[in-house]
């Protein structure tokens, strides 16, 4: 086991700055997920940790060792790639043993490790098969097996589930989580899928345009997003954003726009004081809006009026898109609420779950 530490790490490809001043220290045995949209620098950062990409600036440590100039094979890491990179002419056993053979491990040690990994991954019966004789999920296991037998200090995984169909991806996701808990090996995992990030990561690093936006636990990212980007990226469907003016009235602050006048709770109200009379971004998640008459959210000064434009029944709940003075807000409402396109509706907001963002910096207020 080992900590991984990145200090002021930069990566430039000519004029392109792929990674800007990346800082992170993992815990021993921690599962850290890098998440962000395509091109945000996740893979490049992972490849710098692996030693597959030169660092333009900064320092990377694995354990206490500065690894900037250590070649990949000596970093004590094992990497699992998106395409698995299995050798087609070798069977499963040979694929898993190959890395150890190169490192001249004794035969019986190799045999012990391959069999142990096969047992953990439940692929003992596949050891004689070639990769082409395996399903996608089985290949994925073999790729994991090849990483496990190395008994590395750190696992690095680059979208290892992206080639699997949706159902298998959910299954393998749970297995990877279980496996990581069992082995306790520090793991850094790259994905563009926020659900995968939320379900796997002890902590998540949210990236955009080469820059770290926030490093936090899944729940903290959801409850306290640092800026509008993180707020919109984490959670599904995405948080709604609508411009609102801050109206101060005695101790209270209200967020006001045509269609609503929402009372904020004391904490947000306090943070909004300097914005009195100005516009901010109001953020509210679809699950924190209910349909009047069909929600447990009580009616207080929390009503938004609008017209239903889209109705998407999902069974237990229905997603409705409501135009509030021209801005579409998505609300997750009770699946049995009788709601139709064209209806004029009143949505009730959970006032303890409102977010506000500075209109210029887009940073969270409060």
Phi, psi of 358 (to 5 degrees): -60, 135
- State the nearest-atom distance from the C-beta of 41 to ligand ATP, in Å: 4
How far is C-alpha 227 from the geometric centre of its chain's CA atoms?
A: 15
Name the minimum Å distance from CB 330 to ligand ATP: 25
- CB distance 153 to 49 below 8 Å: no
Which token pair is 98? 């190959």
For ligand ATP, the closer of residues 39 and 359 by Cβ is 39
Among 3, 32, 44, 215, binds ligand ATP (CB under 6 A): 44
Give the relative orientation of helices 107-121 and 92-102 as an angle to the nearest 10 degrees: 140
Q: Which lies closer to ligand ATP via its Cβ, residue 8 or residue 122?
A: 8
**Per-residue exposure over 304-316, b if at least 16 CB sit within 10 Å of its own CB, e if not:** bebebeebeeeee
Total binding residues for ligand ATP by CB under 6 A? 12
Nearer to ligand ATP, 18 or 92 (CB): 18
Q: Which residues from 11-30 bind ligand ATP, rule CB under 6 A?
A: 13, 16, 18
Contact between 42 and ligand ATP by CB under 6 A: the answer reads yes
| Contact between residue 5 and residue 162 where contact means Cβ atoms under 8 Å apart | no
Binding mask 107-136 for ligand ATP (x = CB under 6 A): ------------------------------
CA angle 167, 173, 97 (to 5 degrees): 110
Is 38 among the residues that bind ligand ATP (CB under 6 A)? yes
43 near ligand ATP, judged by CB under 6 A: yes
Paired tokens of 196: 């995968």
Q: Which CB, 56 or 199, lies closer to ligand ATP? A: 56
139 binds ligand ATP (CB under 6 A): no
The answer to the question of residue 41 lying near ligand ATP (CB under 6 A) is yes
* 9: contact with ligand ATP by CB under 6 A: no
Q: How far is the CB of 17 from ligand ATP (least distance, A)?
A: 8
CA–CA dist 217, 204 (Å, integer): 6
Applying CB under 6 A, does 39 fall inside the site for ligand ATP? yes
- CA dist 83 → 28, 50, 98, 177, 271 (Å): 28, 17, 17, 20, 48
The reply on whether position 267 binds ligand ATP by CB under 6 A is no
Q: Are residues 276 and 246 in contact, defined by beta-carbon separation less than 8 angstroms?
A: yes
User: Is residue 33 a contact point for ligand ATP (CB under 6 A)?
Assistant: no
Between 44 and 194, name the residue whose CB sits nearer to ligand ATP.
Answer: 44
* CA quadruple 68, 12, 47, 86: dihedral, nearest 10: -130
- If binding is defined by CB under 6 A, does position 213 make contact with ligand ATP? no
Please, which of residues 330-349 interact with ligand ATP by CB under 6 A?
none
**C-beta of 15 vs 344, nearer to ligand ATP:** 15
Q: State in angstroms the smallest separation of the CB of 40 from ligand ATP.
A: 4
**DSSP string over 47-74:** HHHHTSS--SEEEEEETTEE-TTS-GGG
Residues at the site binding ligand ATP, with contacts judged by CB under 6 A? 13, 16, 18, 36, 38-44, 192
């Amino acid at each position: 086991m080992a900590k991984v530490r990145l200090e002021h790490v930069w990566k430039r490809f000519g004029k392109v700055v792929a990674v800007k001043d990346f800082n992170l220290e993992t815990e021993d045995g921690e599962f850290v997920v890098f998440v962000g949209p395509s091109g945000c620098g996740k893979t490049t950062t992972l490849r710098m940790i692996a030693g597959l990409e030169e660092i333009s600036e900064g320092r990377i440590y694995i354990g206490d060792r500065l690894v900037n100039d250590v070649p990949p094979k000596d970093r004590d890491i094992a990497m699992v790639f998106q395409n698995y990179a299995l050798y087609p002419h070798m069977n499963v056993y040979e694929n898993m043993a190959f890395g150890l053979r190169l490192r001249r491990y004794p035969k019986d040690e190799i045999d012990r490790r391959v069999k142990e990994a096969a047992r953990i991954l439940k692929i003992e019966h596949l050891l004689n098969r070639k990769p082409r004789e395996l399903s996608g999920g089985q290949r994925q296991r073999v790729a994991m097996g090849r990483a496990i037998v190395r008994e590395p200090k750190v696992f690095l995984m680059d979208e290892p589930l992206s080639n699997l169909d949706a159902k298998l991806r959910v299954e393998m996701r749970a297995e990877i989580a279980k496996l990581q808990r069992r082995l306790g090996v520090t793991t850094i995992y790259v994905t563009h899928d926020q659900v995968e990030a939320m379900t796997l990561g002890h902590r998540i690093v949210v990236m955009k345009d080469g820059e770290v936006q926030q490093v936090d636990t899944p729940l903290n990212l959801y409850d306290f997003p640092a800026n509008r980007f993180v707020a919109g990226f984490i959670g599904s469907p995405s948080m709604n954003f609508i411009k609102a003016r801050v109206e101060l009235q005695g101790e209270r602050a209200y967020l006001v726009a045509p269609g609503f006048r929402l009372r904020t709770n004391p904490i947000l109200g306090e943070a909004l004081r300097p914005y009195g009379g100005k516009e901010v971004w109001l953020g509210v998640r679809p699950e924190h809006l209910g349909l009047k008459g069909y929600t447990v959210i009580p009616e207080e000064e929390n009503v938004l009026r609008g017209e239903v434009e889209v109705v998407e029944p999902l069974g237990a709940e229905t997603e409705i898109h409501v135009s509030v003075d021209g801005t579409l807000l998505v609300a997750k409402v009770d699946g049995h609420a009788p709601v139709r396109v064209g209806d004029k509706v009143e949505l009730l907001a959970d006032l303890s779950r409102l977010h506000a963002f500075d209109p210029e910096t887009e940073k969270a207020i409060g």
